Structure 1
Amino acid sequence: MTAQNTEVTTETTDVVVVGGGNAGFTAAHAAAVRGRSVMLLEKGEQDMAGGNSFYTAGATRIAHNGLEDLRDFIEPDDRHATTVVPPYSAEEYAADLAKVTEGRNDPELTQVLVTESQSTLRWLNSLGLKYRLMYERQAYERADGSYLFWGGLHVGNVGGGEGLIEDHTQVAGKLGVQVRYGHRATELCVEDGRVVGVAVETSGGRKVIRSESVILTAGGFQSDPSWRREHLGKGWENAKVRGTPYNTGDMIAAALNVGAAKGGDWSTCHSVQWDAFTATNESNRELTNRLTRQSYPLGIIVNTEGKRFLDEGADFRNYTYAKYGKEILKQPGSVAYQIFDATLRPMLRTEEYDMPGISVATADTIEELAAKIGLDPTALTQTIQDYNASIDRTVEFDPTIKDGRKADTTPPKSNWASPLETGPFYAYGVTCGITFTFGGVKADTHGRVLDADGQHIEGLYAAGEMLGGLFSTNYPGGSGLAAGCVFGRRAGALA
């Protein structure tokens, strides 16, 4: 080892933020506007920066009172004049969190999230982040040409995840935040029971960055196959990593090593249906979120035996998509197929189902489709015949509401059951794409990391995916970015 690599240099700042995603930048902004000197450490080089946030669609779930309550901080759009955005109250937000997590969400963290989500986005907008209504993902155009939003998730960043990180980076520059790329934090420095900095590895050697406070926003452990297998279970090492390859649990381990208590559910995660066969279907910086397949409530999903195995219409996509990746992983070969016909195909999300290089097979008959994807034609035909015959066609199909149009088969499809009768037919191969893990460190509502006795480890804060306690089994779409904003801001306001 060279002398350059063995020498340890020291730098000093008021606040160190470890992790350059949405939560990290929000925390850095909140500290900087208070006059703190802030250094944000990003494990990736600049061309790989942005954490998991870069790979998202930018959807952010907030409570609001409808379109008029949003107009002054979202980008103008001519479609607003013919758009209906139903109000989404803090009470509904909290109820949705409790429903999808089966009551395992921390009530105090939940209360802060649902009451401060909108005000936090307004604050970020005042700094320079741009938001819009997400027509292409969360609204359907009605017969009269108007638009109706659904599912409680309406607002997102201009430019998606890429736009989110670009805006954050520009704001950080204006506020004087030092963003250091290629800085891998390895451990926390502690003196007299207080965290006083971090040890860092860079291409130029090792260094210690001393600070009054350290805010950990370095994500979960989803990018490490061995951690996934250990905590999520056998088979999870085979899941595809949707986002950054750098969320390997380093700083979770560092926090636990200095006495932090574990927080949240370490045995479950956010995972989705993900393009199964595209060659570059992990950590793809160009396609990012376009590799998801989220129009599944309109059609059916079958495994490689040609059988359905879940209720595609149990609820709006926003409340089921983060748990259905796990169900795909359980199937033979961890692969399944979303099936649609020519009637449904125009309703599929363009950004996802018209993706370049998409895994899709098309055929004029079900038998031909089965042959193309290697399924038993008799089995797939029987599944679709049984499904079609069981649909209650007296109920009108309406994708903007839970329409109760049911397929009374096994398993049932509770809503949006539309017969697959009109060729050509389409099959999209999907597997399990892991987004982030739900287990992290335990902290209070201000992001102060707690030890096993419930005491704050002085100088240590956490936000984003590292903050355990909000999610378990499932989560409402858009609440991850919202939590990163809310608790990142809270941590930065104290650090």
Structure 2
Amino acid sequence: MTAENDIPEHPVAYDVVVAGGGNAALCAAIAARHAGASVLVLEAASKFYRGGNTRHTRNMRCAHDAATATLSGPYTEDEFWDDLLRVTEGQTNEQLARMMIRESKEMLDWIVEQGVRFQPSLGGTLSLGRTNSFFLGGGRAMLNALYLTAARLGVDVLYEAEVVGLDIDSDRFRAAIIRQRDGTTRIRGKALVAAAGGFESNIDRLVEGWGEIARNFLIRGTPNNRGTVLDMLLGAGVDSIGDPTQCHAVAIDARAPKYDGGIITRLDCVVFGIVVNKHAMRFYDEGEDVWPKRYAIWGRLVAAQPDQIAYIVFDAKSANLFMPSLYPAIEAASVAELAGKLGLDPDRLSGTVAEFNAAVRDGSFNPDILDDCRTENLTPPKSHWARRIDTGPYYAYPVRPGITFTYLGVRVDHDARMMMKAGGSAQNMYAAGEIMAGNVLGRGYAAGIGMTIGSVFGRIAGRGAARHAAQ
């Protein structure tokens, strides 16, 4: 858009203006400041709620060649690539993805240099002790460390500063128009880094792609990611990438709030039981693969079920094998009683459990590997971790699709510069994090990759923006 003449100018012009306040934004801001640029971060949320979805994270996935004090073994670039290729089913930009993986090896040291600390993974956290580094104190502690470093370096931050307009001339950013409590201001900058997230909290926008079923979705993260910056960029001629219906969607506790339930509402017990819909029927292989590579398909699976609701059913043998939800599991002395508490048909649920139990073939149960406990002559099968549900008390969690972030975003090049529909890359506009995640994630997800995308491309974008500003 073109700025209106009557919008007052901010008294300071910056080398780099960063739209967003989460991990990607802060990595970009810090990298740009290290490179000598003056930097302003525009965060739409208040200081308490700063950080977008990063507040709800707890780990990041990075390649590394050897075990460390907090990682139990090596995770090579090739293994990372194989994992990404598998979960995306090939829908990824290989050049950018391999660059991200290669750069991720440096991030563990770089992020520590910015004040972030790691800890060994906790028990029941998706078996990620070798591949993913867990933040000491979780995502909020990680954010606080980055903000502290940014402040020490001289990065300016404006809170409750919503970007409501972008002054873009062809492929060149000139200024951001922001709205705060005391009015609207135009802030000039030599370069822009867009790190303002996707559009997952814009329910009407989700409905455009998914239909009315999207009104039953829960949003795991911030209510501020409404896609406004994304829409401005696309409207200004930036090229798009990704499918509006592809997203990071997991099964979360159906009792969670509409927004901001975070990671404590996620359910990681699918592999230890069975999942049924409102008709008490199973609909997918709960033990298809190790959980870190499959947990993010369950939001989409539940979205396809009647009324977008499902129930994870398990028994006492599995009750202590996973991190529980914020809400207690629903408990009963029998499967039929459990069905009644869930509002399901008791005969149907009892029949589904009995059919499953009869198909189980015993093996050596091991929650940490692809074990040999499976079913036979059952549709859908359960390929691993199949154990009879026969030991009371019996438990269940109701689940709905929980949307973390969307994949439709801006297309970028290897310097994290936005690419234009008319061809070529923008002069001075860069992107990092969820707003460009579709370049790497065409579909699917593996735990911790979102933080990898944010930190790696954030650092690349910040450095690139600072270089442009210095020219």
TM over 0.5: yes
Residue 313 of structure 2 corresponds to residue 339 of structure 1:
yes
How far apart, in 2, do the equivalents of 1:456 and 1:478 lie?
Answer: 28
Structure 2 residue corresponding to 1:422, chosen from 382, 385, 391: 391
Q: Counterpart amino acid of 1:486?
A: V
Residue 202 of structure 2 corresponds to residue 227 of structure 1:
no
Question: Percent sequence identity over matched residues?
Answer: 34
> Structure 1 323/482 Cα, relative in aligned 2: closer, same or farther at 3 Å?
same
Aligned to 1:407: 375
How far apart, in 1, do the equivalents of 2:455 and 2:273 lie?
Answer: 34
Q: Counterpart amino acid of 1:309?
A: F
Contact 2:247 2:403 in 1 (8 A): yes
Contact 1:8 1:205 in 2 (8 A): no
Runs of 4+ with deviation above 6 angstroms: none
Contact 2:114 2:146 in 1 (8 A): no
Alpha-carbon shift at residue 207 of structure 1 (Å): 0.6
1:239-318 superposed matches below 5 A:
239-278=217-256, 280-284=257-261, 288-318=262-292
Q: CA RMSD in A?
A: 1.7
Contact 1:276 1:359 in 2 (8 A): no
Q: What is the SS of the residue equivalent to 2:430?
A: strand
How far apart, in 2, do the equivalents of 1:424 and 1:230 lie?
Answer: 43
Structure 1 residue corresponding to 2:346, chosen from 353, 365, 377: 377
How far apart, in 1, do the equivalents of 2:405 and 2:211 lie?
Answer: 15
Residue 440 of structure 2 corresponds to residue 470 of structure 1:
yes
Alpha-carbon shift at residue 454 of structure 1 (Å): 3.6
How far apart, in 2, do the equivalents of 1:415 and 1:7 lie?
Answer: 62
1:387-402 superposed matches below 5 A:
387-393=356-362, 395-402=363-370
Post-superposition CA distance 1:431-472 (Å, at most 9, x none)? 111000011000012210000244111110000001131112
Post-superposition CA distance 1:24-48 (Å, at most 9, x none)? 0000010011111100000111122
Aligned to 1:119: 106
Post-superposition CA distance 1:71-122 (Å, at most 9, x none)? 3xx5xxxxxxxxx824221111111111111101110111111111121221
Contact 2:287 2:383 in 1 (8 A): yes
Q: Counterpart amino acid of 1:403?
A: D
Alpha-carbon shift at residue 229 of structure 1 (Å): 1.3
How far apart, in 2, do the equivalents of 1:438 and 1:385 lie?
Answer: 40
Alpha-carbon shift at residue 153 of structure 1 (Å): 3.3
Alpha-carbon shift at residue 150 of structure 1 (Å): 4.8
Post-superposition CA distance 1:335-394 (Å, at most 9, x none)? 111111111101121xx33x2xx153111111111111111111111111111111111x
Q: What is the SS of the residue equivalent to 1:372?
A: helix
- Please, which runs of 5 or more residues in structure 1 have no aligned partner? 1-5, 75-83, 140-148
Residue 104 of structure 2 corresponds to residue 135 of structure 1:
no
Post-superposition CA distance 1:136-161 (Å, at most 9, x none)? 3447xxxxxxxxx5586331211111
Residue 467 of structure 2 corresponds to residue 493 of structure 1:
no
1:24-39 superposed matches below 5 A:
24-39=25-40
Alpha-carbon shift at residue 428 of structure 1 (Å): 0.8
Alpha-carbon shift at residue 333 of structure 1 (Å): 1.9
> Structure 1 404/472 Cα, relative in aligned 2: closer, same or farther at 3 Å?
farther
Alpha-carbon shift at residue 317 of structure 1 (Å): 1.4
1:76-155 superposed matches below 5 A:
85-138=72-125, 149-150=127-128, 153-155=131-133
Contact 1:275 1:359 in 2 (8 A): no
Contact 1:281 1:291 in 2 (8 A): no
> Structure 1 477/150 Cα, relative in aligned 2: closer, same or farther at 3 Å?
closer
- Please, which runs of 5 or more residues in structure 2 have no aligned partner? 1-5, 466-471
Alpha-carbon shift at residue 316 of structure 1 (Å): 1.3
Q: What is the SS of the residue equivalent to 2:404?
A: strand
> Structure 1 366/13 Cα, relative in aligned 2: closer, same or farther at 3 Å?
same
Alpha-carbon shift at residue 299 of structure 1 (Å): 1.1
How far apart, in 1, do the equivalents of 2:415 and 2:7 lie?
Answer: 36
TM-score (norm 2): 0.93
How far apart, in 2, do the equivalents of 1:103 and 1:189 lie?
Answer: 36
Structure 2 residue corresponding to 1:367, chosen from 336, 339, 348: 336
Q: Counterpart amino acid of 1:347?
A: L
How far apart, in 2, do the equivalents of 1:371 and 1:295 lie?
Answer: 21
Alpha-carbon shift at residue 265 of structure 1 (Å): 2.8
TM-score (norm 1): 0.89
Q: Counterpart amino acid of 1:399?
A: P
1:317-356 superposed matches below 5 A:
317-349=291-323, 352-353=324-325, 355=326
